[in-house]
Chain A
Amino acid sequence: MVNTLTTMRTLSMVNLGLTVADIPALILEFLTLNSKPIMQVLLMPGLAFILGFAIIAVWFERKFLARAMLRVGPYYCGGRSGVLQVFADFIKLFLKEMIFPDSVDWFFFALMPVMLSTIPSLALVLIPFDANWVLWDIGGLSLPMFLAIMGIAPLMAIFAGWSSNNKYSFIGAWRVAYMYISGEIPIIICSAAVAIMAGSFNLVKIVEAQSNGWFFIPQFLGFIIFFLGVLIQAERTPFDIPVAEVELVFGWRTEFSGILFGFTMMAEYVMFQAWTLLFITLYLGGYGGPILFGNIVGSHIFWLLAKFVVLIVFIILLRTVFPRPKIEQMIKFGWNYLTPLALLNLFIVLGLKLWGIY
């Protein structure tokens, strides 16, 4: 707030008779005063983190799964490791023609992939990388806000599939809706249990409450349910039912081409990233960990990223070993097992809290 006021004052000085020659100095002043939020937007929970994750994760997934499939994977672009393949693919997608079939609702068709990759990345600003390294610190509202932002995403996927006016996309879009109602509710109940145990909806306070012991020990049930919920919400294997390739070509994304397809791919990884970070924050102690080299902020960011990398590798590994259930089996699983067990977890937490054990 102080920064904003300072900025406003600085800008109003322009009207008070300052010359053009003063502008560089003013910009410099603005940058120095707001260096932390600018760094946050550009680097850590912001642009570099999101894009860097998408690039590295796509490369790693391709290379790693290729090894599992006894192949070599990307090989020619950027040396034998194929690191530059993702950039090459991105350039290719960017330069390719965007095909708009005659029957699409072009407004939603063009808008939804862009929204889908940007809106879930808004949720990332709520994740604490340190008690003082939260881009958008809204205190006790941060957990509900996160869930609210992430709750919009499936709706946009439904719109994207529906506006494509393709039969595969249509079925895929409704599969997204089914997945959403069977995966979101257990996640919200589990988050409520965590909030009760920590005594706050504030993500920073939830992390600080785990300084004595991570929440996955007292809430092991919730830990498992939330993990499955993350897989369901992020459409990761084995729950990649809406884009099931052998059934629905590419599900709700079938008609997208060029950079619009690139945006849907981007959206997948952003959702994956946001849900995984929330999972770490709620159950695996968030940024908590021993302080290294006396640098508190740096070591906190390091620990969060370390946990993040381990979890990502584990989730990508799941892709090689599991087939995919049917959508009706998925719904049955969500409503018959995940939701009742999440409620049981909530009652266990209430009991622990009531008898003062935790």
Chain B
Amino acid sequence: MSEPKIKPEIMRMSWGPQHPMSGQTRVLLDVDGEKVHKIIADLGFTHRGIEKILENRTLLGGIIPVDRMAMVDSANISIGYVTAADKAYGLEVPERANWIRSLVCEMSRINSHLYAFGLQAEATGYFPAVFLWTTVDREILLDLFEELTGARWSFNFFLPGGVHKDLPEGFKENVIKGVQYLRRRFKDYWAAIVENYMFEIRCNNVAILEPKDALRLGATGPSLRGSGIDIDMRKDEPYAAYGDLDWEVITEDACDVMARTKVRFHEIGQSLNMMEQIAKEIPEGPIKVRFSPFMRAPEGEYYTRVETGRGELGIHMFTDGTTNPCRVKINPPSLRNMYVFERLAELNEMTVADIPVVINSIDPWYLDSDR
């Protein structure tokens, strides 16, 4: 990356990739003392060429690399690809399979938001205790994943035209038990951390993203809904079973870091409600349609949008009548939000201490943005 010349009184420091909090990216900061004048996000450290890999795989085999785009949120990412594959094959997904897909997606979303919340607490300066508490709570979800799909991480559970397995015996009761436990935990987190005075002074009125700027810069996910705009793909273009479930889109009007944190928190509540509803009301029926892995998809172009934990994921798939897609373009949410993060320094006054808090309020996942 070329580095343009800077004024002598401004120091350019590199926040990452060798940094305890940065993750697999580099953020260049132009600082004058503590004040940050400019942010340059240098992405691409973990580029794996997933789009190219997908061209060399069948539509079914493509689920595996897509699943690894964001490990913590793999179900929500892969459902975008699977929905596109459904469209390409022209398969009608049974209702029960759709409900199971929604269940796994919501569990994955809680998983992702829990991780984001733990990092957010650590970025404000909590000793890593909170991060480890959320990690321990995640075990509940991972156990449920293991029981249902056979894997704790990167379960390639969705198939074009359905899901791999039906709910095992006693799974519904375990889901309800887990939901009750997590509700109790989130009540504690809310009282102990989100309403902590020190947490509030770190998060309130930091990195304000006005609604018009959020739309103009293309923010998505909790970053957009934290600015008071109710765009959620699950409501706007319902996929899986979201059209049949009772839930609402969460928005906050404060537009700051705290608003984004609260959006995530309330979304976890909505996801828990949905999990409970699915466990209680899931319809009977088949879970997949007959489907051959070497089926040829007819020539065509398909675009699906799904709501992942980090925002809207777009999959643009071109098929040319062979077993493989001839091009898959992935529009990941983290990439869009990283552009917003760069611009936030121009819209607000920010200091070095704000950088970890703000970047975690955006909640980027660099493996996802680099593809």
Contact = CB atoms under 8 A, between A and B. Distances in A.
B125 interface: yes
A213 to B, nearest CB: 32
Contact of A246 (B31, B196, B201, B356): B356
Nearest to B15: A247
A311 interface: no
Nearest to A238: B198
A325 B202 contact: yes
B202 A326 contact: yes
Interface string B330-371: 000000000000000000000111111000000000000000
The residue in A170, A174, A247, A320 that gathers the most chain B C-beta atoms within 10 A of its C-beta is A247
A245 interface: yes
Nearest to B132: A69
Interface stretch (B59-67, B116-124, B313-321): B116-124
Nearest to A320: B129
A325 B19 contact: no
A195 B127 CA distance: 37
A69 B121 CA distance: 13
Residue among B11, B123, B351, B353 with most chain A CB within 10 A: B353
B128 interface: yes
Given A249-B19, A328-B351, A323 B129 contact: no
B201 A325 contact: yes
* Chain B contact surface mostly: mixed
B201 A167 contact: no
Given A171-B34, A326-B202, A327-B34, A247 B353 contact: yes
A265 interface: no
A162 to B, nearest CB: 13
B13 A167 contact: yes
A132 B128 CA distance: 45
A327 B125 CA distance: 12
Contacts of B353: 241, 244, 247, 326-327
A93 interface: no
Interface string B184-212: 00000000000010110110000000000
Contacts of B34: 171, 327-328
Contacts of B136: 70
Interface string A317-349: 001101111111100000000000000000000
Given A71-B132, A325-B202, A328-B34, A320 B11 contact: no
A250 B65 CA distance: 36
B53 interface: no
Interface string B1-36: 000000000010110000111000000000101100
Interface in A204-251: 237-238, 240-241, 244-249
A59 interface: no
Contact of B354 (A71, A319, A323, A326): A326
Interface in A52-82: 65, 68-71
Contacts of A249: 19-20
A324 B132 contact: no
Contact of A245 (B20, B201, B351, B352): B20
Contacts of A240: 125
A168 interface: yes
A322 to B, nearest CB: 5
Nearest to A178: B34
Interface string B242-279: 00000000000000000000000000000000000000
A249 B21 CA distance: 8
B302 interface: no
B356 A320 contact: no
B122 to A, nearest CB: 6
Contacts of A65: 127, 129
B124 A324 contact: yes
A168 B356 CA distance: 14
B26 to A, nearest CB: 14
A69 B128 CA distance: 7
B129 A247 contact: no
Given A69-B132, A70-B132, A246-B125, A326 B351 contact: yes
B133 interface: yes
A135 B212 CA distance: 68
B20 A323 contact: no
B126 interface: yes
Contacts of B354: 326
B132 A323 contact: no
A69 to B, nearest CB: 4
B352 A247 contact: yes
Contacts of B127: 65, 68-69, 237, 319-320
Given A246-B20, A249-B19, A324 B125 contact: yes
Interface string A140-155: 0000000000000000
A240 B127 CA distance: 11
A247 B355 CA distance: 7
Nearest to B202: A323
A325 B352 contact: no
Nearest to B352: A247
5 smallest CB-CB distances across A and B, nearest first, come from: A324-B125, A323-B124, A323-B125, A246-B21, A167-B13
Interface of B: 11, 13-14, 19-21, 31, 33-34, 121-129, 132-133, 136, 196, 198-199, 201-202, 351-356
16 contacts: A68-B129, A69-B132, A71-B132, A171-B33, A237-B127, A245-B21, A246-B356, A247-B356, A320-B129, A322-B126, A323-B121, A325-B201, A326-B353, A327-B34, A327-B351, A328-B351
